[in-house]
Amino acid sequence: MRLTYLFLQFDGRISRKPYWIAFCLLSAAGLTSWFLTDHFGGERLSSIIELMLMYPELAVIIKRAHDREMPLWIPILYFSFGVLANAVVIFGLGGSKDEPSTLFWIVSLPLLAVALYLFVDLGFFKGVRGPNRFGPDPLERQT
């Protein structure tokens, strides 16, 4: 599987294996950027980088959601809350690390709930067997 397809395109389906590979790569990129920006650039720069990583993350999650025949409003809800959470930090409305603002919690708690749901559903459950409206089963051998 091409990485450009995995991280940049929204069509088709992927199974759990490429999903977990992409999840690990994106998590490593996110943790590395968080570590570097936390020590050298601050929370705002970290949020800006997180926003840049959201596009490839969205591409991976959408393709995996296609494989599970998940309604697309669920991943869109996750990314909406993700954008809001990063905007709260970028615009200085999130409070401090020691005392997060109420707005930070209002946005972050639903984000965490949807993220946990997506983590379990996309990461641990098999996709729909056979072709569906998004393409062929990624686990079937192409002849």
Cα 63 from Cα 69, distance rounded (Å) = 10
pLDDT digits (tens, 9 = 90+) for 10-37: 999 999 999 999 999 999 998 988 888 8
49 has pLDDT over 90: no
- For the chain, the domain total comes to 1
Cα 60 from Cα 47, distance rounded (Å) = 20
Which tokens sit at 12?
Answer: 């088709």
pLDDT digits (tens, 9 = 90+) for 55-98: 999 999 999 999 999 999 999 999 999 999 999 988 999 988 88
Range of the domain at 27: 12-124
Q: Is residue 47 part of a domain?
A: yes
Q: Is residue 137 part of a domain?
A: no
Q: Is residue 46 part of a domain?
A: yes
Residue the block writes with tokens 């920006």:
37
- The secondary element (H helix, E strand) that includes residue 90 is helix 73-90
Q: What is the pLDDT of residue 143?
A: 46
Does the reported pTM lie above 0.85? yes
State residue 100 phi and psi, 5-degree precision.
-65, 150
Q: Is residue 92 part of a domain?
A: yes
